[in-house]
A and B are shown apart, each in its own frame.
Chain A
Amino acid sequence: MKITIERATLLSALGHVQNVVERRNTIPILSNVLLVANGSDLSLTATDLDLTIIETVGADVSQGGATTTAAHTLHDIVRKLPDGAQIELTLSDQSRLAVVAGRSSFALPCLPKEDFPVLAEDTLPHSFSIAADELKRLIDKSRFAISTEETRYYLNGIYLHAAEAAGVPMLRAVATDGHRLAQVDCPLPDGAASMPGVIVPRKAVIEVRRLLDQVDGSVQVSLSETKIRFAFGKSVLTTKLIDGTFPDYQRVIPSGNDKILEVDRRQFAEAVDRVSTISTEKSRSIKLTLEKDKLHLSANSPDSGSADEELVVNYPGEDIEVGFNSRYLLDIASQINGDSARLDLADAVSPTILRDVADERALYVLMPMRV
């Protein structure tokens, strides 16, 4: 194998795939990236056995071939080479990859490409195309709620499925950590109606989101019960899905919350942020007291004192008092882009619904906190 490639091209491709490679591996070859030179293309593959990214870039291939070498090392080398450098990759014998650019030359140990794990090629019966912006929105607005507690593994991802909102078919992303929940919809793409509900693991969500920055236009999604693939033009990400049952989230979204509060989103977020300065480091509790057209936020801490702030809001309902984790409130408030936010409350112990008044397609559910 002998190829010449432009530094920027190689760097961006390595940048995309190397995130998949774990820093520490018990299987040595998982630290490596698979390089395959063929025709006028170089393809790079990295995997952690659950998630695989393949990216194909143009290169000047004088001799085809394939090998694997340490992904992070190669990435670091390429990153440090001067801008505009032409990089020559040569596999002289099977154990050393020569990386040469100008006066710098490196020899990297290789492992044979035959040992590189290949994800079984399954058939992915369901397939649809979705606008990159829509997919971005689904991920951005829901991923903050993904659980990190590994014992509830079935919550460690985004639940992607076909649903219906007010009679209109939707593609829906749901994430929850057991305390709060995010539900985001977009119009159902053609071909997605029959897809099974799948849980896309957090690591894949993060990588997909990273790759989405590189594309506009659309993303081709294909999936089966156990795998999902996102094709972004020159890069393709395939991941195993979380093998578990996502809880029946619709049951926990309340329908009878009749105390409706509308508040300026920015004022609200800023007030919550200010008042929460006082609440204790870990519990971060903050109290919302509502009376007609008035929202009173307060926090108390034996160490730091107390904080109070009052906002003029649109609230016709009866007086109510409810506590929340201020960090959860801020997380949700930062997902709301419109000018005003709406809170549907019931009482101090039942879930509250939060949403963007201008956006019917996203809603958030939050459990209160009690002191």
Chain B
Amino acid sequence: MAYSQPKCVRGCGMCFSFPSPDQKPPPSCPRPLCPRVYHSVLEEDGIISSFGKASTPFRPPLLQFLRWLRCCWLLPVFSDFQKCLAPPSAVQETGSEQIQNGRRTERKHGLESERRSSQDGVGRGTPLSGGVEKRMSKSRSYRLSLRSCVSSRLGLTPGWTTRRLNSKRKAPKSQNITNQVSPDHLALLVKHEWQLSYVSPLYHFRHTQLKSYARQLSAFIAAEKQQGLAVEVGIQDSFKVSFSGVQGLAVADDDPETVLIQVHTKPVFAQQDDPLKLVWSGWLTCCNGSPEYLHSLPKDFTCLPLFGSSGAQNLTSLVKSWFQKNFDCSFGPLEINHTSLEWLVALWTNCNTETNIQNLKMLWTLPVEPPLQVTYVVEGNDAWDLWSSLQQRSEGDGGEEAGWIGIEEVTAFMQGLKNHFYRHFRLELSAGNLSQVSTSLGSAKCNGKIKVSNSRYMITTLTLLTECALLKMPV
């Protein structure tokens, strides 16, 4: 069956009202410059056509998966290429009829409601879920990959995405992980601010071979550092890499163990027996990863989707390229979008009864000339009072399970804070971006920098971030 669904000429997946390519897309189309060339590249590579045409021979999922990976490397320049993919389920043989129906109903809501609902990230049951499920059992891995690819921007709500940020979360309980995780590791995790990235599943990664990985990586770093140097004296032992497994951070049974990487170096003017200096550290983790996704991975893949690094930029890129070469994976920046930041605000505020959060600080950037930054600091106890008043209300409505926080409450809380602000300044904070949140429990920035200052709530934060990383991952 040919791919003949009406869709935006620019392939944004959000505009539904412009079926023919001769018509101009609406000004609200979020993709002013969607290079059509991606479509043809992907079609030639057999990626879209395998969905689009019934005549294409069926490829085993793993092969498809690898082709995908290759494709991701071919097009790293076009960072947005995932968006241009044709919607996978729109061309499924089984689901196409239902999709048509689903689309039509979608269209009635109009673009605006589409966007709004996408912003708060609430998953909606769509009429096509039946069709999707059917197909899923057949070839789980690549179907999932495409789906997460479409929904990777979270902001897009085409009718066919079913996976998105959880709309409900367990209220964070103070977990004393100090007796599970070794104090050295914990101190390191709490001390630094980490720059986050997502990582696609690692191929042939073995937790048993960490020692040999350490040797290989230190050799790799030394080799890269020596490039272009005429004299090679005393460089051999300048970098010492250590890999270690961090026990106690994996919560669910399926979670692979967290891996901590540290790079030590000898200071230039060090004495013989001076201790080595820690110059770079990073970790790969998976905290409460979606079991559905983890099960769908082929046997040889280990999924540690969240990568945090702290230290010199060039070492970060060296470590990344070593991982890419050895484990066939790809890295990408993990920005923390405003929905996740709002989640963190709510989750941290909810902890105030157990651990005082002191101040809830939020930073908005308003898009005016010159850019205006608004720092909104709320006293911790007052923020908690507002939060608990909202919770009482929703519990009063009935039907809310105790110990769970819904996205509605998060949105209501943020709205409450914004309303109080608007009442005084008559300034719309929603016009800007929430770019940073911090409390005494930690801080997070929209460019993907995070610091967790209190180990007791580390699991909660890492769970949320793992989820973000899994969604952001193109594979």
Interaction A to B: no
Please report A residues at the B interface, Cβ cutoff 8 Å. Answer: none
Please report B residues at the A interface, Cβ cutoff 8 Å. Answer: none
